[in-house]
Amino acid sequence: MALALAIDLGGTKVEAALVDAAGTIVPGSRTRIATGAAAAADRGVLERALTGVIAHCRSLPGWSMVTAVGVGAAGPIDRTAGTISPVNLPSARSFPLVDMVARESGLSDVTLRLDGTCIALAEVWLGAARGATNALVFVVSTGIGGGIISDGRLLAGGSGNAGHLGQVIVGDIHGDAAASTVEERASGPHAVAWAQRQGWSGTTGEELAAAYRDGDIIAVSAVARSAQAIGIGLASTATLLDLDLAVIGGGFSFVADDFAPQIEAAAHAACVNAYAARLRVVRAELGGDAPLIGAAALVHRRDLL
């Protein structure tokens, strides 16, 4: 039975596991090392975490069945060079991730993709996008990113960064263009910050969710504002790519039970062409397992690449 070494590298942690060809994470193989804020300033923190999770997996009885490595990483990435330059990890600019993984694992077959791309692969393989041929899978959390499946295949783009829904412009630009993006208007921290500017006294996305359930008018407005920005971004994406389905995951997606329907309604309202307005918005199914399952799909489901 062939196994894949799956690695997920994010802004605050590095995680790895062995995953079989059915997409099942091998029990006891999953390991995670937190890097925290220190990794933003010290590349060594990231290097040590990566070395640690790979070493753990290499010590497992099933290591002899590992044939290749799939890696999902925060972006931007450069899949040709095998490097990453995560926005939230300044110390990791042009970090030679593929070379380091190959060296530490002893495996030459290493495939790198954006973390949002891996989540999309996971949901298409085993989750909410099973059977979909034209879909966007995206995460709403500290940031907003995703991956695109077009005509049944992964749409990675020239550098591997296709799917950055968070950087789509959804408003008039006055000064810094970033202020008019989906992410600046809809991510968890930005939704909380907007609510605070309106006089709300809370500090976290969890508190915003509780306030929304209690009917707090500012919290309700903050959630609606977030849903509208995402919906407008999806309308543009669906119009450009002729999508059938959008799958939403990430911690902030649980800010409201009706968050997905709100987003779908906003997307439909913003669509100019009828074909784009057929877009459905549903919740992801794989949760925290998606990044590793998607990284393993880079090995086991190369038919999707």
Global pTM value: 0.92
Closest C-alpha among 183, 258, 270 to residue 234: 270
- Given pLDDT bands bounded at 50, 70 and 90, which one contains residue 179? confident
The listed CATH number (1.10.1740.10, 3.30.470.10, 3.30.420.40, 3.20.20.140) that belongs to domain 131-284: 3.30.420.40
Q: Give pLDDT tens digits for 41-70.
A: 999 999 999 999 999 999 999 999 999 999
Checking if the pLDDT of 301 tops 90, the result is yes
Checking if the pLDDT of 26 tops 90, the result is yes
- Given pLDDT bands bounded at 50, 70 and 90, which one contains residue 37? confident
Checking if the pLDDT of 291 tops 90, the result is yes
> Which fold does the domain 3-118+289-304 belong to in CATH?
Nucleotidyltransferase; domain 5 (3.30.420)
pLDDT of residue 269: 98
- Given pLDDT bands bounded at 50, 70 and 90, which one contains residue 277? very high
Domain segments of the chain as ranges:
3-118+289-304, 131-284
pLDDT of residue 94: 96
- Given pLDDT bands bounded at 50, 70 and 90, which one contains residue 199? very high
Q: Give pLDDT tens digits for 118-162.
A: 999 999 999 999 999 999 999 999 889 899 999 999 999 999 999
DSSP letters spanning the chain: --EEEEEEE-SSEEEEEEEETTSPBPTT--EEEE-TTHHHH-HHHHHHHHHHHHHHHHTSGGGGGEEEEEEEE-S-EETTTTEE--TT-GGGTTB-HHHHHHHHH--S-EEEEEHHHHHHHHHHHHSTTTT-SSEEEEEESSSEEEEEEETTEEE--SSS-TT-GGGSB-S---S-GGGGBHHHHHSHHHHHHHHHHTT----SHHHHHHHHHTT-HHHHHHHHHHHHHHHHHHHHHHHHHT-SEEEEESGGGGS-TTHHHHHHHHHHHH-SSTTGGG-EEEE-SSGGGHHHHHHHHHHH-GGG-
- Given pLDDT bands bounded at 50, 70 and 90, which one contains residue 174? confident
Checking if the pLDDT of 229 tops 90, the result is yes
Q: Please, what is the average pLDDT of the chain?
A: 95
Closest C-alpha among 1, 19, 12 to residue 298: 19
Is 131-284 the same fold as 3-118+289-304?
yes
Q: Give pLDDT tens digits for 69-117.
A: 999 998 899 999 999 998 888 999 999 999 999 999 999 999 999 999 9
Query: 31-40, 76-85, 217-226: which has the minimum mean pLDDT?
Result: 31-40
pLDDT of residue 187: 95
